Amino acid sequence: MKTTLLEVFIEPGCKACVSVMHSIRKVQSDLNIEVKVYRRDTEPDVFKKRNVVITPAIFINNVLMFYGEVTPVEIEKKLYQVNRI
């Protein structure tokens, strides 16, 4: 799989964000992906620029792919779909 950028938007106190980060770390250890994590409390300008209102939010190669909780299997499936194009 080619190198892929996965961006995760989270905020403190968000239980779904914690779950998604576990899923992201699992996928990251299995595949060749770069992960960037943005926190609403420290990087609000990035949230505003990307129009992220709901967390967690996951972008793959600058395209919004998921809002809310997602499993490692769902993330991997989407990564393979994106990389086939």
Give how far the C-alpha of residue 10 lies from the chain's centroid of Cα atoms, to the nearest Å: 9
> Residue range 75-83: average pLDDT?
89
Check residue 78 and give its pLDDT: 92
> Residue range 29-54: average pLDDT?
93
- Domains located in the chain, CATH noted: 4-84 (3.40.30.10)
Smallest Cα–Cα separation from 47: which of 13, 18, 7, 5?
7
Check residue 83 and give its pLDDT: 78
> pLDDT at residue 38 above 90?
yes
> Residue range 13-30: average pLDDT?
93
Q: What does pTM read for this prediction?
A: 0.90
Q: How confident is the model at residue 70 (pLDDT cuts 50, 70, 90)?
A: very high
